[in-house]
């Protein structure tokens, strides 16, 4: 079964600085990979996804993620964060043909002025 690890529980970043959130997965083949964002008290919104092809994936809100098979990673990046990016971010992995996704524990991002 697949699994996901998000090593960072909480990250604080200054507004305008770059952001990178780490995600490591465990799966024998090429998985489906996702990043979601959750603002306080709201549901999860899909930021981006990777199924195959170009390993650098562009998403909404200026986010991108890079799939690195050799490192079993799918890290999320944003070059310049805005105060509205303060939220919790979840990485998820799915296996082709499986009904379910496995979610990481999440990383909370705080943006300071």
Partner 1 sequence: SQTIHQWPATLVQPVGSPLSLECTVEGTSNPNLYWYRQAAGRGLQLLFYSVGIGQISSEVPQNLSASRPQDRQFILSSKKLLLSDSGFYLCAWRASGNTIYFGEGSWLTVV
Q: Which residues bind partner 1 (CB under 8 A)?
A: 32, 34, 36, 41-46, 49, 51, 90, 92, 94-96, 98-101, 103-106
18 vs 30, beta carbon nearer partner 1: 30
- Least distance from partner 1 to the Cβ atom of residue 105, Å: 4
52 vs 113, beta carbon nearer partner 1: 52
User: Rg of the chain over CA atoms, in angstroms?
Assistant: 13
Those residues whose C-beta lies under 8 Å from the C-beta of residue 99, and which sit 6 or more positions away, are none
Q: Residue 42 CB: number of other CB atoms within 10 A?
A: 9
């Amino acid at each position: 079964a697949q699994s996901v690890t998000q090593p960072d529980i909480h990250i604080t970043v200054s507004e305008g600085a770059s952001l990178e959130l780490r995600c490591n997965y465990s799966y024998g083949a090429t998985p489906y990979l996702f990043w979601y964002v959750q603002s306080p008290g709201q549901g999860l919104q899909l930021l981006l996804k990777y199924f195959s092809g170009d390993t650098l994936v562009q998403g909404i809100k200026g986010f991108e993620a890079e799939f690195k098979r050799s490192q079993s990673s799918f890290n999320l990046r944003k070059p310049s964060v805005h105060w509205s990016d303060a939220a919790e971010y979840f990485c998820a992995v799915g296996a082709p043909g499986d009904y379910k996704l496995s979610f990481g524990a999440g990383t909370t991002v705080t943006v300071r002025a």
